[in-house]
Amino acid sequence: MTHVLETGLEFLESSNPGNLPKVKGYNIINGQLKSSSDGSRFTSKNPAILVDELGDFPLSTRDDVHEAIAAARSALTDWAATPAPTRGQIIGNMGRLLMEHKDAIVALETREIGKTLKEAAGSVQEAIDTCLFFQSEGRRLYGQTVNSELPDKELFTYRRPLGVCGIINACNFPAAVPFWKMIPALICGNTCVWKSPQDAPLLSFALARIMHQAGLPDGVVNLVHGKGSSAGQYIVDAVDEGLINKISFTGSTEVGKAIGEVCGRNLVSCSLELGGKNPQVVMPSADIDNAVAGAYWGGFGTAGQRCTSLGNLILHEDIYDEFMEKLMNKVKSTRIGDSLKHEDVLYGPMLSEKYAKDFLKGLEMVEADGATKLWGSGRITSGNTPDNFLGTPEDGVYMWPHVYADVTEDMNCFHEEVFGPAITVVKAKDFDHALHLANASPYGLSSSIYTNDRLEAYRYKIGIKAGMTGINNSTTGAEAHLPFGGVKGSGNGTRESGIWVIEAYSYWHAVNDELSGKLQLAQMDVDEIEMVEAEVDYTKLA
């Protein structure tokens, strides 16, 4: 059996297809590299160059997942007893190793999921920032001393770990999001079983090995690969079996609801970060050019494959024509291609063939609703290529940017997320109508308003039903020390990032330390203080 530290990270040395042999990846269970128990494997492909196979990985069985859970449960006692500042030091080491290997990890992320180099760098930097932020939280994992209502008694509160955490994340932010989840889990003293995204197993494999290189003890983080419907489901099933104490999931609302049901019936904590149909409102007082830039990036950055991507663009009727003319000029000039080969592309391929198929189904829904297509023609192929597409279409999985107008509240596409490069445009009569439209979808993740009327900005931020709001900023974007998450169909109220996420990975333990040597009963043995009414002649106080 090979320990994870006995092999290097040679595959990080180059990101160029053809320069590297296909990596043989493994699960990492209790620090050991392991294949699936039945020998089955799957292949990770570059969505920009489909013939470029990055590696093959285990399709984990139920036995594999249960072995990982057993390792996490075995490691829990010692890890929870490790002083929080020491846990923080290991997490700080992770951040420094990520910085050391940043360029290589960025190139790997671009190669494995097709993000531009600039966007991949942002994702990796978010993981670094998370490590550096939570390193110091190891020295601030504060409890409180509370005054007792009885003499010779002390009251304290402490944060305690929940136990074994099941971590399931999507592939669109394969560096940032798992670190959002696991780093606060680790600082609180939990252990983890991490199911990598099926479309980003090599990056996950590299990150897990870096975590061990930073000094993480064996069994504290266990990585399993495979499908969400199998390996991911086995982790969720383990909640019913009493083996998992926490689930943290990023993905679709449909799957999130199913996970929430399992956790709810077992009284197990879950963090659910789900989909969005994020509105951007533009009012007449706005800087139109700035608002166009926000809508363009929000809709088409990452090929629209963010949970915070712009969904409904809500334009006040007085500026509708000017805005749309400027937006369409930008859309028609969009540069699309492989960021490892071409500079200054706005976005690259879809995350995988699966995401491409789902996106095309979403476009069918929009067009069935009767929305007016202003731009876009599905998948980019030879003979169906935008002017600024760079490369050979059939090499990868590329999509046109799409814009649909005349969308109304009664259409399915107004309410449903279309995960890809597509914007649905809605016209508003006034501010109240715009706010109503912004709140009318079943989601509530991110939101945005462009206005230079401060009263409108104030009324929007207190009236919108969303977890996040940008004022004169796009619907996308997050920082490692600000809470991230949604309401309604976008989540269950838990948050990623910042000090707030600590609540999701710990519970409060109240300690009642009786020093008097006798039984004292709160509320019953407290001396009553009688009020004494003073005899005062108030007429003589004038």
Query: pLDDT of 377-396, one tens digit each?
Result: 999 999 999 999 999 999 99
| Dihedral angle computed from the Cα positions of residues 247, 252, 254 and 257, in that order, rounded to the nearest 10 degrees | 30
What type of residue is 133? Answer: F
Q: pLDDT at residue 227 above 70? A: yes
* Kind and range of the H or E run holding 295: helix 288-300
What pLDDT digit, counting tens, does each position of 452-486 carry?
999 999 999 999 999 999 999 999 977 889 999 99
Q: Which of 188, 192, 263, 307 is catalytic?
A: 307
* β-sheet bridge partners, residue 168: 195, 249
pLDDT for 13: 66
Average pLDDT, the chain: 95
Roughly what angle, to the nearest 10 degrees, separates helices 201-213 and 176-187?
A: 30
Q: How far is CA 2 from CA 13, 40, 338, in A?
A: 21, 19, 36
pLDDT for 449: 98
Distance CA 504, CA 13 (A): 37
pLDDT for 466: 97
Contact assessment for residue 456 and residue 434, using Cβ atoms and an 8 Å cutoff: no
Name the residue ranges covered by the structural domains of the chain. 26-274+497-505, 278-480
pLDDT for 21: 75
What confidence tier does 66 reach under pLDDT thresholds 50, 70, 90?
very high
E strands within 302-341? Answer: 310-316
Domain 26-274+497-505 CATH superfamily? Aldehyde Dehydrogenase; Chain A, domain 1 (3.40.605.10)
Q: Indicate if 307 belongs to the active site.
A: yes
Highest CATH level, class, for 278-480:
alpha beta
Contact assessment for residue 33 and residue 58, using Cβ atoms and an 8 Å cutoff: no
E strands within 359-469? Answer: 372-375, 402-405, 422-428, 443-444, 448-450
What pLDDT digit, counting tens, does each position of 13-38 carry?
655 555 667 999 999 999 999 999 99
